[in-house]
């Protein structure tokens, strides 16, 4: 799976489907709501309340926090948090979009294609490849998780 940091560096949407055994173990659960809120709000501020990939903003709220991961040898490491507009955030969660309905999924795929400057067919192929990889990764049940980036970011924020 691609390094999540490339999303910010290359201004490109990258899908990182979390293996099923790790569902419900996001960064906000790892550090707690208070720390997560401080971290995400600082990420929003640093991004100027704009999507770090497309530069846009949402209608109800400008941006949302999305964790960036690195997957290596049975270990998932949080390597950052990025501010994404709601439309781009949906686009990197095709599984959730599919559960919300076909129209939501198709909108997400269309946005992925537009932002990444690829065809709809290429976006669909990319989603399919991500799901194949997700199925393989989900077979592995013994994952190590590292959320130390969030703790360090919070400590740096707190210490000014």
Determine contact, residues 57/49, Cβ cutoff 8 Å: yes
Choose among 38, 46, 39: nearest CA to 8.
46
Q: How far is CA 62 from CA 49, 65, 114, in A?
A: 6, 11, 19
Determine contact, residues 82/108, Cβ cutoff 8 Å: no
Predicted local confidence at residue 58, as pLDDT = 95
Burial zone of 90 (CB within 10 Å; 0-12 exposed, 13-18 middle, 19+ buried): buried
Burial zone of 4 (CB within 10 Å; 0-12 exposed, 13-18 middle, 19+ buried): buried
- Please, what sign has the CA dihedral across residues 98, 59, 26, 149? positive
The percentage of the chain sitting over the pLDDT mark of 90, rounded to a whole number, equals 88
Q: Which two tokens stand for residue 36?
A: 């997560």
Question: What is the average per-residue pLDDT within 120-138?
Answer: 96
The mean of the pLDDT values for the chain is: 94
pLDDT digits (tens, 9 = 90+) for 62-120: 999 999 999 988 899 999 999 999 999 999 999 999 889 999 999 999 999 999 999 99
- Please, what sign has the CA dihedral across residues 60, 126, 12, 82? positive
Helix, strand or coil for residue 129?
helix
pTM for this model (two decimals): 0.93
The percentage of the chain sitting over the pLDDT mark of 70, rounded to a whole number, equals 100
pLDDT digits (tens, 9 = 90+) for 49-58: 999 999 999 9
């Amino acid at each position: 799976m691609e390094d999540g940091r490339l999303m910010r560096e290359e201004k490109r949407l990258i899908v990182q489907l979390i293996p099923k055994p790790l569902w419900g173990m996001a960064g906000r659960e790892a550090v707690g709501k208070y720390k997560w809120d401080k971290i995400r709000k600082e990420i929003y501020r640093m991004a100027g309340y704009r999507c770090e990939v497309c530069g846009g903003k949402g209608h109800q709220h400008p941006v949302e926090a999305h964790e960036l991961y690195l997957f290596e040898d049975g270990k998932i490491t949080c390597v950052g948090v990025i501010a994404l507009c709601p439309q781009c955030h949906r686009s990197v969660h095709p599984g959730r979009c599919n559960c919300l309905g076909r129209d939501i999924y198709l909108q997400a795929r269309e946005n992925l294609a537009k932002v990444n400057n690829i065809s709809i067919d290429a976006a669909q192929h990319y989603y399919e490849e991500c799901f194949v990889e997700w199925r393989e990764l989900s077979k592995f049940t013994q994952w190590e998780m590292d959320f130390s980036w969030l703790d360090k970011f919070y400590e740096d924020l707190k210490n000014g």
